[in-house]
Amino acid sequence: MAEPDTLRYTRFALNHGQSALPALGFGTLIPDPVATRNATKAALEAGFRALDTAERYGTEKEVGEAMDEVFKEGRIKREDVFVITKLWNTNHRPDRVKPAFETSLKKLKLDYLDLYLIHTPFAFRAGDEQDPRDADGNVIYDRDVTLLDTWGAMEELVKEGKCTAIGLSDVGLEKVKEIVGAATIKPAVVHVESHPYLPEWELLEYCRANGIVLQAFAPLGHNSEPNLLEDAVITGIAQRVGKTPAQVVLAWAIQRGTALLTTSKNADRIRANFDVSTLPDEAVREISEGIKSRVRFNSVVNTGVPGFIPRAK
Ligand SMILES: NC(=O)c1ccc[n+]([C@@H]2O[C@H](COP(=O)([O-])OP(=O)(O)OC[C@H]3O[C@@H](n4cnc5c(N)ncnc54)[C@H](OP(=O)(O)O)[C@@H]3O)[C@@H](O)[C@H]2O)c1
């Protein structure tokens, strides 16, 4: 009898904190609060064991409520779920890191976090306004704090024991190298946009060589144009292996060694996105080598302004 396919249960051991990140993760960048709560519950019920949120998404409260409900039902325990949230750009000053972390933890109804990420390497003016702008509409950056200053405060959270692992998000290779070179606790995870149109091979290679897990967001191309799920290479493989284009792209991401975060408001798609199976090696190669288009859907990496989040009023 054939062995059951275990790709969906893949986990990547992290370089600190003795934990392992489930490769298939569910993201909660969903504007509507009710949809966020329902989708989070549906994701846990479908089998997802990594959840991603952020202070900036405004979804921590709903994710916390959904987890609380599911945990109270008793079938899934807190320690079964790997929870990720992120420090926003307005909280980069070291004295603001711990209060921001504690606020997130409280909203999530948790007493420890599995992974805390610096959401972007850009510090904005410190304060409660998440999207500070000058009279001309330009972002007001904070030039008096460096990423390394913020990283030092993140390391303190790990030392205090309430945060198992820390990492970086929306960074390029140079910033990752800078932090790896200076850190006491190296980043466990680097979280960036990545899919067949933006494979980030060089960053992945560096992460691999340095024991860091690369976690890909927008693995399906964020439902944007050009539509990755309509790419002829992807649809051809999907037809051949009897899977959907989304399942093909998600399997490719795991098989090439990245974790990922996918999102849907639709319970059927959530279940389908968890139902991935191993692709033949030649299909993985065909995607890696045969797709030449290069598209970045989210420009957050250039400015710190989140591309997929509606601008604050
Ligand atoms: N650090 C950052 O700056 C950053 C930026 C962006 C995202 N993220 C994180 O990464 C997560 C995932 O990002 P993403 O939303 O761009 O991921 P994605 O999975 O590439 O795209 C999600 C979009 O694809 C659609 N979709 C989902 N499953 C589908 C399927 N099987 N077939 C066709 N369409 C499908 C969804 O629509 P429906 O809801 O209608 O299904 C949704 O519009 C976010 O939730 C967030 O946690 C981080």
Query: CA angle, 152 as apex, 126 and 110 as ends, to 5°?
Result: 75
pLDDT at residue 1 tops 80: no
* Average pLDDT of the chain, as a whole number: 96
Q: How far does the centroid of ligand 1 lie from the alpha carbon of residue 254, in Å?
A: 16
Q: How far does the centroid of ligand 1 lie from the alpha carbon of residue 222, in Å?
A: 5
- 293 pocket-lining for ligand 1 (C-beta < 6 Å): no
- 300 pocket-lining for ligand 1 (C-beta < 6 Å): yes
Q: How far, in Å, CA of 98 to CA of 92, rounded?
A: 10
Give me the percent of the chain exceeding a pLDDT of 70.
99
Catalytic-role residue among 9, 57, 112, 197: 57
57 labelled catalytic: yes
Measured by CA distance, the residue closest to atom 14 of ligand 1 is 218
The model's pLDDT over 279-297, given as tens digits with 9 standing for 90+, comes to 999 999 999 999 999 999 9
Confidence at residue 191, expressed as pLDDT on a 0 to 100 scale:
98
Q: How far, in Å, CA of 59 to CA of 107, rounded?
A: 9
Confidence of residue 311 (pLDDT cuts 50, 70, 90): low
Confidence of residue 312 (pLDDT cuts 50, 70, 90): low
Q: How far, in Å, CA of 153 to CA of 97, rounded?
A: 6
Contact 168, 118 (CB under 8 A): yes
Q: What one-character DSSP code corresponds to residue 90?
A: G
Q: How far does the centroid of ligand 1 lie from the alpha carbon of residue 136, in Å?
A: 32
Mutate to test the pocket of ligand 1, among 88, 175, 263 (most ligand atoms within 8 A of CB): 263
Q: How far does the centroid of ligand 1 lie from the alpha carbon of residue 175, in Å?
A: 25
Atom of ligand 1 nearest to the CA of 117: 1
Confidence at residue 283, expressed as pLDDT on a 0 to 100 scale:
98
**Mean pLDDT value of segment 150-174:** 97
- Only one residue has tokens 């850190």, namely 183
Confidence at residue 313, expressed as pLDDT on a 0 to 100 scale:
45
The model's pLDDT over 240-252, given as tens digits with 9 standing for 90+, comes to 999 999 999 999 9
- Only one residue has tokens 């990140």, namely 21
DSSP string computed for 101-128 = HHHHHHHTT-S-EEEEEES-SPPBPSSS
pLDDT at residue 119 tops 50: yes
Q: How far does the centroid of ligand 1 lie from the alpha carbon of residue 308, in Å?
A: 10
pLDDT at residue 268 tops 90: yes
Straight-line distance from the first to the last Cα atom of the chain, in angstroms, rounded to the nearest whole number: 58
Confidence of residue 147 (pLDDT cuts 50, 70, 90): very high
Atom of ligand 1 nearest to the CA of 247: 31
The model's pLDDT over 75-112, given as tens digits with 9 standing for 90+, comes to 999 999 999 999 999 999 999 999 999 999 999 999 99
Confidence at residue 16, expressed as pLDDT on a 0 to 100 scale:
85
Give yes or no for a cis peptide into 219 (omega within 30° of 0): no
Contact 244, 272 (CB under 8 A): yes
Paired tokens of 29: 């960048």
Query: What is the model's pTM?
Result: 0.98
**Mean pLDDT value of segment 150-165:** 97
Alpha carbons within 13 angstroms on the beta-carbon side of residue 280 total 8
- 241 pocket-lining for ligand 1 (C-beta < 6 Å): no
Mutate to test the pocket of ligand 1, among 21, 24, 26, 29 (most ligand atoms within 8 A of CB): 29
Contact 51, 270 (CB under 8 A): no
